[in-house]
Chain A
Amino acid sequence: MIENNILVKLSNAGIMKDNKWLVQDVDLEINKGQIVTLIGPNGSGKTTTAKIALGLYKNIEGKVERFTKNISYVPQKVSIDWTLPLRVVDFMVLTQDLKSKDITDALNLTGVEHLMNSNLRDLSGGEFQRVLLARAIAKKPELLVLDEPVQGVDFNGEVALYSLIKKISEAIKCGILLISHDLHVVMSATDYVVCLNGHVCCSGTPIDVAKSDHYRELFGEKSSQLLSIYEHNHDHVHSTDGDIVKDAK
């Protein structure tokens, strides 16, 4: 990788709270056009690591370097207070002014353009996630941080949104840091996987990680087999230059 393709770099990063490490010794690098996925059990520090990368903590150990300011963030949880009347269209321009065409396009991509004038509080969980994602991509960020972006979305929608995320990273060449639980779906759209459990257990391409013993310990034999199936299906993609992905079936 050329140096100026790097968007974010964490070196030995970690954070301590009440004399306990929330997460430590994380090395991580996100490049343009690359999807990096954080996986790990509950409480393993996935969200914390993402927040460190975003610069949301003051007293961190180690080093974080960010080479872009054009960042979009989809937090794990956003709750809108009743006192604040907020329509989808108001929310779309929360941090950046947008042309109305960009707003409609983004909502269209995530399939919720008909909700433009709805109140955010009236949306279902899945619809809300789609709006969050639409807002994040509408400003065409260089770095997109997605903390469980498809929670509450129905299964078909989930697959569609992950392939959308993949498409976005290719279309606008942004780097994506993705946190997810849906191992098998995520893996097929990911370039690099970091498996966390308070520290980095293992990392590498999805296939490397699936093979590793650490991963087996954390997630069990089943999920490892799931990934092996994935590997089998797409095996020849990796033996070529990668251009003929379409023929992979």
Chain B
Amino acid sequence: MLDDSLIRALIAGIGIALVAGPLGCFVVWKRLSFFGDTLAHSALLGVLLSISFDINVSFTIFAVSSLVALLLLRLEKSTNLAGDALLGLISHSSLAVGLLILGFLSFIRFDIMGILFGDILSVNTNDLLVVWIGGALILIVLRYIWKPLFASTVNFDLAEAEGMKPERVNAIFTILLAALIAISIKMVGVLLITGLLIIPTAMARNLSNNPKQMVILSVVGGLLSVFIGLYASFEINTASGPSIVSVALILFILSLIKLQKKN
């Protein structure tokens, strides 16, 4: 039952859940879930570029998603388009262009479902290194910018007036988000990654009354989703991404019951 690839997938999943918890909290607090979606969709372009030019896939996704993130920050300032419309524009065009290119790449055989929804069987030892080293770096940087990032989330002007450089830490945060997407695409897939970011966090919000508690609970929720989701995925042969996200959804629904009892 405990196949090597399941263990590899679990180790990778734990790493991703540890990073997704705290980042997910900020995504929810800052109302960036659609932003995360956009970065994830642009990751498809990253995957295709990496296949076409034979470059490391995580690195290419990171580069493309970071570029899109910085481009978005720029456009938000220089155009009059509302934030969500702008995100929709970039998000769906990158998905469309990505799928078009995919059509032209018919001479290369690869698993499109794996990219869109994640594939645990494809996780190799190399990927484990990418997840854990990349994840550790993300957490270290996040720890470093935590205070200014949190302050600017609560009130941008207040943070800036008191010398916390909110614009800079916000930009760094979006790059961390791109990095998380890069290391977790193989496991969760392009379409569902934001689910892993925000659903355990939404569950945690229902159960917590301070920020630290919410971060810890969202990590716990993420870990549970990964454990149960991967096990199910392996046993009943479902795609890993949807399995993990579905478990997260069940946990969220359970937390709603708790919330209603409290009120």
* Contact indicator A84/B155 (Cβ below 8 Å): no
Interface string of A86-110 (1 = CB under 8 A from B): 1100110011100000000000000
A85 surroundings in chain B (CB, below 8 A): 205, 208-211, 213-214
Quote the shortest CB–CB distance from B98 to chain A (angstroms): 30
Known contacts A90-B210, A90-B211; A84/B154 CB under 8 A: yes
Known contacts A85-B211, A95-B147; A56/B154 CB under 8 A: no
**At the interface, is chain A mostly helix, strand, loop or mixed?**
loop
CA of A71 to CA of B31, assembled, Å? 28
B31 surroundings in chain A (CB, below 8 A): 81, 83
Residue of B nearest to A54 (CB): B161
Place the interface of chain B in its size category: 20 to 34
* Contact indicator B154/A119 (Cβ below 8 Å): no
* Contact indicator A145/B210 (Cβ below 8 Å): no
Q: Is A73's CB within 8 Å of the partner chain B?
A: yes
Pick from B158, B161, B205, B210: contact of A83, CB under 8 Å: B205
Quote the shortest CB–CB distance from B79 to chain A (angstroms): 16
* Contact indicator B154/A86 (Cβ below 8 Å): yes
Q: Is B160's CB within 8 Å of the partner chain A?
A: yes
Quote the shortest CB–CB distance from B209 to chain A (angstroms): 5
Pick from B151, B160, B164, B211: contact of A56, CB under 8 Å: B160
Pick from A51, A83, A90: contact of B29, CB under 8 Å: A83
Q: Is A55's CB within 8 Å of the partner chain B?
A: yes
* Count of CB-CB pairs between chains A and B under 8 Å: 65
Residue of A nearest to B163 (CB): A69
A90 surroundings in chain B (CB, below 8 A): 210-211
Within 8 A of A (CB), among B49-97: none
Known contacts A69-B163, A85-B210, A90-B210; A75/B153 CB under 8 A: no
Residue of A nearest to B209 (CB): A85
Quote the shortest CB–CB distance from B81 to chain A (angstroms): 17
Q: Is A72's CB within 8 Å of the partner chain B?
A: yes
Place the interface of chain A in its size category: 20 to 34
Known contacts A85-B205, A85-B214, A90-B210; A75/B160 CB under 8 A: no
Residue of A nearest to B198 (CB): A83
Q: Is A78's CB within 8 Å of the partner chain B?
A: yes
Interface string of B136-156 (1 = CB under 8 A from A): 000000000001001101110
B154 surroundings in chain A (CB, below 8 A): 78, 80, 84, 86, 91, 94
CA of A96 to CA of B150, assembled, Å? 12
* Contact indicator B151/A95 (Cβ below 8 Å): yes
Q: Is B159's CB within 8 Å of the partner chain A?
A: yes
* Contact indicator B151/A84 (Cβ below 8 Å): no
Residue of B nearest to A95 (CB): B162
* Contact indicator A75/B158 (Cβ below 8 Å): yes
CA of A48 to CA of B155, assembled, Å? 17
Q: Is B28's CB within 8 Å of the partner chain A?
A: yes
Quote the shortest CB–CB distance from A75 to chain B (angstroms): 5
* Contact indicator B205/A73 (Cβ below 8 Å): no
A56 surroundings in chain B (CB, below 8 A): 157, 160-161
CA of A75 to CA of B159, assembled, Å? 11
CA of A54 to CA of B160, assembled, Å? 8
Residue of B nearest to A96 (CB): B162
Quote the shortest CB–CB distance from A47 to chain B (angstroms): 10
* Contact indicator A72/B211 (Cβ below 8 Å): no
B160 surroundings in chain A (CB, below 8 A): 54-56
Within 8 A of B (CB), among A59-88: 69, 71-73, 75, 78, 80-81, 83-87
A–B Cβ pairs within 8 angstroms, 5 of them: A54-B157, A73-B158, A83-B205, A95-B158, A95-B159
Residues of B within 8 A of A (CB): 28-29, 31, 147, 150-151, 153-155, 157-164, 205, 208-211, 213-214
Residues of A within 8 A of B (CB): 51, 54-56, 69, 71-73, 75, 78, 80-81, 83-87, 90-91, 94-96, 119, 145
Given contacts A73-B158, A85-B210, A145-B161, 14 further A-B contacts (CB under 8 A): A51-B157, A54-B157, A56-B157, A56-B161, A71-B161, A71-B162, A73-B161, A75-B157, A78-B158, A84-B29, A84-B211, A86-B210, A91-B154, A94-B154
